[in-house]
Amino acid sequence: MGYKVVVAGATGNVGREMLNILAEREFPVDEIAALASRKSLGTEVSFGDKTLKTKDLDTFDFTGWDIALFAIGSDATKIYAPKAAKAGCVVIDNSSLYRYDPDVPLVVPEVNADAVTGYAKKNIIANPNCSTAQMVVALKPLHDRATIKRVVVSTYQSVSGAGKEGMDELWDQTKAVYNPTADVPAKKFTKQIAFNVIPHIDVFMEDGQTKEEWKMVAETKKILSKDIKVTATCVRVPVFVGHSEAVNIEFESHLDEAEARDILRESPGIMVIDKRENGGYVTPIECVGDYATFISRIRQDPTIDNGLNIWVVSDNLRKGAALNAVQIAEVLGQRCLKKG
């Protein structure tokens, strides 16, 4: 006996990945529904070797369904997640709406799987921000060994983090660079993204941080430890898929780079590619379609006591969104719902 599963936002980048990953990981599905907005009604999406036609999210009855994976943004989630939860369907939400709600667990299964049991308060579990998810996967085993005091992270985030519109804008502007008669002004982003980098993701806050930077701070504290100090600079780069991060870590006690490398190699969800030679590291183009969080450039930071530098790369549509949501569903099933 398996689960009745809903994927809301099934025509978007993340929704399609959710369907792919449910099929790839052979999640025990008895019945599946692909939901979309009315304008996308009837659009066909793939689920393994099956083709599904999308149903109308607005009129869908969640009664009798077990799990709903949401990838529809905060505004729509505010309307439909409470409806699903009230009907007895557990919502795993990819938006930022519930991440900071103390009654909603914020979960990365390799880091804090036990938090899943807190779903019952609202029948909702939150998926973290894409840049946070891959970072805490890397930090958790190191924190367990030497206790992290402070993290300084600079991100290099792909345009797929801004959805299909972001990917289209990079594609169209790149072509326009080689066509003198074409002009593709910035629309999704604040400046040209082709052949450029933009130190601005989400809105600016009063203290000068962007909302994306604030999310990384708040979410790392909620998932890993409230005592860790985090400062972030988030940058959009002209890469289609795959987020990269340069992470500087300060520990309470000494952690040798060789031991850190060994710890990371043995840790769940991590692949260490760290050779000190040309190409002995992972770049975003190589991580696309993979489940792992890749770690390279592991080295001591001699400028501070107990410092370490690492380079972290992951497919943001997978570990940063769809994969993490499916992994949450797996843990929820095994520990709480116990079907399949």
Burial 21-50 (b: 16+ CB within 10 A, else e): bbbeeebebeebbbbbbeebbeeebebeee
Residue 84 DSSP SS3:
helix
* Predicted structure pTM score: 0.95
Cβ atoms of residues 136 and 223 within 8 Å: yes
Reading the chain (340 residues) residue by residue, the pLDDT tens digits are: 799 999 999 999 999 999 999 999 999 999 999 999 988 888 999 999 999 999 999 999 999 999 999 999 999 999 999 999 999 999 999 999 999 999 999 999 999 999 999 999 999 999 999 999 999 999 999 999 999 999 999 999 999 999 999 999 999 999 999 998 888 999 999 999 999 999 999 999 999 999 999 999 999 999 999 999 999 999 999 999 999 999 999 999 999 999 999 999 999 999 999 999 999 999 999 999 999 999 999 999 999 999 999 999 999 999 999 999 999 999 999 999 988 6
Residues near 296 by beta carbon (within 8 Å), at least 6 away in sequence: 272, 273, 274, 280, 281, 282, 310, 311, 313
Residue corresponding to tokens 């659009």? 43
Q: How many CA atoms lie within 13 A of 242 on its CB side?
A: 21
Nearest to 287 by CA among 255, 329, 320: 320
Nearest to 202 by CA among 95, 125, 43: 95
Cα–Cα distance for residue pair 145/143, rounded to 1 Å:
5
End-to-end CA distance of the chain: 5
Cα–Cα distance for residue pair 39/36, rounded to 1 Å:
8
Q: What is the structure's pLDDT at 180?
A: 82
Q: What is the structure's pLDDT at 340?
A: 62
Query: How far is C-alpha 50 from the geometric centre of its chain's CA atoms?
Result: 26
Residue corresponding to tokens 């795959």? 242
Strand order in the sheet with 29-36: 55-56, 29-36, 3-8, 67-70, 90-93, 124-126
Nearest to 236 by CA among 189, 291, 174: 189
Catalytic residue check, 336: no
Which one of 89, 130, 234, 287 is the catalytic residue? Answer: 130
Which one of 89, 143, 234, 243 is the catalytic residue? Answer: 243
Cβ atoms of residues 308 and 299 within 8 Å: yes
Nearest to 163 by CA among 15, 6, 7: 15
